[in-house]
């Protein structure tokens, strides 16, 4: 017997806009990309066209959010040969789920040390029961 499907809370739209004061771990030019994971859903942006410690992405990523999934893993990698990790962190989704929208500078760390910040525009669209819409 299959396990019951978890209750869908809605859709999260995450837009990593830009980074600031990112650690340059490669020593040369880096073209970072943002990798995001909510539960078993993993997605990423394209590498920044601006090779710097102040990159820009402005790319939309969408996730289905289910009951019990209240965080998003954020990882920043250099798109070079080594695909080196620049920094990472766990962004709690409670506030955006409650408010519907959240714009935030999110700090990332590498081995416990601050490695820069990523500016996110987050929007949560709550799931609406089809029965309620047609009543």
Q: What pLDDT is attached to residue 74?
A: 98
Residue 99 zone, left/alpha/beta (φ > 0; ψ -120 to 50; rest): alpha
Q: Whole-angstrom Cα distance, residue 68 to residue 37?
A: 14
pLDDT band at 63 (very low <50, low <70, confident <90, very high): very high
pLDDT tens track for 80-97: 778 899 999 999 999 999
As a CATH number, domain 8-133 is 2.60.40.150
What pTM, to 2 d.p., does this model score? Answer: 0.87
Q: Which residue has the higher pLDDT, 131 or 118?
A: 118
pLDDT digits (tens, 9 = 90+) for 1-57: 566 667 899 999 999 999 999 998 767 788 999 999 999 999 999 999 877 889 999
Task: Please say if the pLDDT value at position 106 is more than 50.
Answer: yes
pLDDT score of 30: 85
Residue ranges per domain, the chain? 8-133
């Amino acid at each position: 017997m299959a396990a019951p499907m978890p209750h869908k809370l809605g859709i999260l739209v995450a837009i990593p806009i830009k980074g600031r004061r990112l650690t340059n771990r490669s020593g040369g030019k880096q073209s970072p990309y943002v990798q995001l994971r909510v539960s078993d859903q993993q997605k990423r942006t394209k590498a920044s066209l601006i090779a710097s410690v102040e990159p820009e992405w402005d790319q939309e990523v969408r996730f289905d959010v289910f009951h019990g999934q209240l965080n998003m893993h954020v990882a920043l990698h250099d798109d070079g040969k080594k695909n080196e990790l620049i920094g990472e962190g766990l962004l709690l989704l409670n506030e955006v789920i409650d408010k519907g929208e959240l714009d935030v500078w999110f700090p990332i760390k590498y081995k416990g040390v601050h490695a820069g910040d990523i500016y996110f525009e987050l929007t949560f669209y709550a799931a609406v029961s089809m029965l309620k819409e047609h009543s």
